[in-house]
Amino acid sequence: MSSISLPLAKRVDRPPRRRLRSLLKKILVPIVLVVLWEVAANAGMVDVRFIPAPTKVLAAWYQWIFGTQKTLGDPYVGTWALHALQSGYRVLLGFFFAGAVGILLGVLIGYFRLFGELVDPLLQMLRPIPITAWVPFAVIFFGIQTPSAVFLIALGAFFPIVVNTTAGVNRVPRSLIRAAQMLGTPNLKLLPRVILPAALPSIFTGLRVGVGMAWVLVVVSEMLAVKGGLGYVLWDSYYYMRMDIIIAAMLSIGLLGFVSDWLILQISNHVVRWNEGR
């Protein structure tokens, strides 16, 4: 049983000047690349039909978000919020199901040995199947609409959550359980008072990996199994060769994925602020 560990953001109070310098270091290479890209596009060194200039992308993105006048050539004007909301809603719903079922099953598998021996092998057999291979099933059972996308997202986010939860429960130090027992904790209360809190850091690791999977799969499912959402726009604009919209959609998805990961990290940093590994 493996678990994936992510670097956790450390709260280090640095003096403002150093912080500024560290920020500059982080964004220096991206800025240089974007500038080079702009120069190359304007100088005709790249084919702007395939790689539009950054300013062009920004303008298209702006129109996509704030534009009011739809034209025949640009059906996306002003539709960004609608598509972003659709994608966000699907991610949220799928992630919620994945979290609820994944944590519950993970705890049961890790805590009740027989249950684990019966159920875990099945999960390990299903896990290597790429989620995209489930698309035909999803479409047949749920149609080309939101439930289909939610199913795929939930399935994809479920596996990292269940695996990390199981690992967290299995890794609870024996001495903590013994300590609770010698302090008079009845066996039934070991789960809420010791096992669950001790497994929380692993559970949050699973949730972070899971939310990343959720954003991957919302794009996949919107490309294949639903009409609407950022992934749908990305694929649809490809038919019109609107590379500017494609890039704007990619950036939008990346940004929303980053924000959801950051949100979970903030919650995690608060809930497991006691964690020694931090």
Partner 1 sequence: MSNAVSQPGAIVAEHVTKVYEDIEHGEEVVALRDFNLTVQPQEFVAILGPSGCGKSTFLNIVAGFEPVTGGVVKVDGHAVTGPGADRGVVFQDFALFPWLTVQQNIEFGLRNQGMPSDQRASMAEGLIRLVHLEGCARRYPRELSGGMKQRVAIARVLATNSPILLMDEPFGALDALTRFAMQKQLLEIWEKHQKMVLFITHSIDEALYLADRVVILSARPGRILKVLEISDPRPRDLTSPSFNTMRAAALRLLEEEVNVASQAGAYVASTATA
Q: Which residues bind partner 1 (CB under 8 A)?
A: 173, 175-176, 178-186, 189, 194, 197-198, 200, 272-276
The distance of closest approach from Cβ of residue 169 to partner 1 in the complex, given in angstroms and rounded to an integer, is: 15
Q: How far apart are CA 199 and CA 172, in angstroms?
A: 7
Given a contact cutoff of 8 angstroms between Cβ atoms, the answer to whether 139 and 221 are in contact is no
Given a contact cutoff of 8 angstroms between Cβ atoms, the answer to whether 2 and 209 are in contact is no
Of 242, 137, 167, nearest in space to 2 by CA = 167
The distance of closest approach from Cβ of residue 200 to partner 1 in the complex, given in angstroms and rounded to an integer, is: 7
Residue with Cβ nearer partner 1 (136 or 173): 173
Residue with Cβ nearer partner 1 (181 or 266): 181
The distance of closest approach from Cβ of residue 272 to partner 1 in the complex, given in angstroms and rounded to an integer, is: 7
Classified as helix, coil or strand, 225 is coil
Q: DSSP string covering 46-110, please?
A: S-TTTS--HHHHHHHHHHHHH-----SS-TTTT-HHHHHHHHHHHHHHHHHHHHHHHHHHHHHHH
The distance of closest approach from Cβ of residue 258 to partner 1 in the complex, given in angstroms and rounded to an integer, is: 28
Residue with Cβ nearer partner 1 (71 or 175): 175
Residue with Cβ nearer partner 1 (127 or 178): 178
